[in-house]
Amino acid sequence: MSTNFIPRRSSTRCEPSDSKQSGEVPMSTNDQLLALRQKYKQTLPATLARIGILAESLVEGTSHEDATPDRTALSEALHKLAGSAGSFGLPALSAQASRLDRQLEQLLAADPQDDKYGLWIGRLVAELRALSHFAQTDRLPDDHYVSTAMNSPTQGLEPEVWLLEDDELLGSSLVSHLEAFNFTARLFTSYADLSAAFAGQQPQVLVLDILLGTEGRSVDRLRETGLLKEAHSRLIFISARDDFSARLQAAELGAEGFFIKPLDIPRLVTRVEQVLTRLHAPAERVLIVDDDELLAQYYQELLTRAGMQVEILHDPALTVETLERKLPDIVLMDLQMPEISGQNLAAVIRQYDQWMGLPIVYLSAEHDPAQQLRALNQGADDFLTKPVDDAHLITAVRSRVARSRQLLELMTKDSLTGLLKHATIKESLKREWAMAKRKGETLCVAMLDIDHFKQVNDRFGHATGDEVIASVATLLRQRLRATDILGRYGGEEFAVVLANCDASAAAALLDDFRRRFQELQFSYEGESFSVTISIGVAEYRPGMEVDADALLVNADKALYQAKTSGRNRLQVYGG
């Protein structure tokens, strides 16, 4: 059994509108990071002077207890210096401050009546006094900082899907399927032709048959020729054999999909769409909670230059409020902050169900493994020790966010279609309705139902029915706006939420989808067939006495009217 989509229209370019524009920053000297470094240099003498004053209190204190407040302040100052100096180009000063902080911690735990206690204090104070001189010899050149900006992941890539398949009949069929769903696709039947084209441009997605007849394994050819050495195209492999070694080789090359022949074409098309969605994913939203203002600004600039959206919060007490307002993908927080420790703050965040899965990463100068483990047990996901290497921080944030988004999709999206599940689409509608009401904007809700779907299942089997359902989802993603919210309401029924959109615009958009869907041709054991869909639309306008639940009811009534009026049509509620 197979399913074929034979296009009856010309294709258009696939250019998702959700592009991460903020990542398109040219590579150049990073003046902002240099300016922050200069500012840090200017504040450093005052920081070292304060440490010196606090060091004197170690000598002046008459007992261990009398000096405890000053010693705690000294420990906090050393901890902050250890975390910040390395980031601003003073790695030796950072290491020395960290070493002295550990010595001070041991001193605080020692018995002041010990005969050697005074000697220990004297040595520590001498080294603390020497920090100022130590800082003067630890200088990196002013051009140490260069831009850490990263090009947009789509920069230089053609908005196309290229296919390497030496079976021309199968390849042409796959190209037709892709074009039917609005992708621009291009077929290559030999590795040599692909290599020649690749020298001039690169596609966003490259689909390759892992075994190319007389040409051997495409994975071997890719290694031999180094085709992907400077490439950024996303890879998907197809194969006639499902063996571990082939999958392993594909994984080593960074493949994001592996499909076995005979191909489940709707799932392959869906995977291509998912890969492109990740490629055009919105910028990572980062919340930094840190009382060190300059260091937080440094991290903000660093991550912003890497294409992320970064918010700084210096008051931990406002964390929950900020989470609700900014909806970050990840939280980076210092472990040691005045009044509120990072581990307690992480525990507070985990008290809220909606933030249970939010990645929390500590950025701290704490080197004690036991302390790190205790902090992680409070609900955080990772621990990065300051000073954190620039590239390490960017990669850690990006990988954590990507994984979190994937897990969130698994929890909230239907496995067959990739659309929001029933409960999630209803929650999304309530949120969008509340926003529309607050802003005084229009909002439309649509209910869609596949016509005579039971007959499809009875005649062609449930596997074919699943392919039809998956096709609805894929075409919806292709034809509707990037801002529209799509859900599988149940079975063969779908729901769409169109924010800031009136009934006329929604009807035009959805009726175009309806017409294009009926043009798709499916096949089962040599028999071709098409399927139609009915749509009901309900509108919310400012001032209307209708809530989110009532909107769904109205859209369902309009859908019922479309069904009873002959199916394969769109009906607006009240129209």
CA distance 56 to 70: 10
Q: Are 522 and 5 in contact (CB under 8 A)?
A: yes
362 SS3 class: strand
State yes or no: is 15 an active-site residue.
no
332 SS3 class: strand
**Continuous segment of H or E residues that includes residue 73:** helix 68-85
Q: How far is CA 17 from CA 75, 98, 193, 447, 480, in A?
A: 50, 47, 31, 24, 11
Strand partners, 384: 363
- CA nearest to 5, candidates 363, 301, 269, 350: 269
Which of these is catalytic: 160, 179, 492, 539? Answer: 492
Write the DSSP string, 275-323. HHHHHTPPPPEEEEE-S-HHHHHHHHHHHHHTT-EEEEES-GGGHHHHH
Q: Are 23 and 284 in contact (CB under 8 A)?
A: no
Q: Are 290 and 165 in contact (CB under 8 A)?
A: no
Tokens of 559: 């859908």
CA distance 237 to 226: 17
**CA dihedral for 465, 471, 473, 475, sign (positive or negative):** negative
Q: Which residues are catalytic?
A: 492
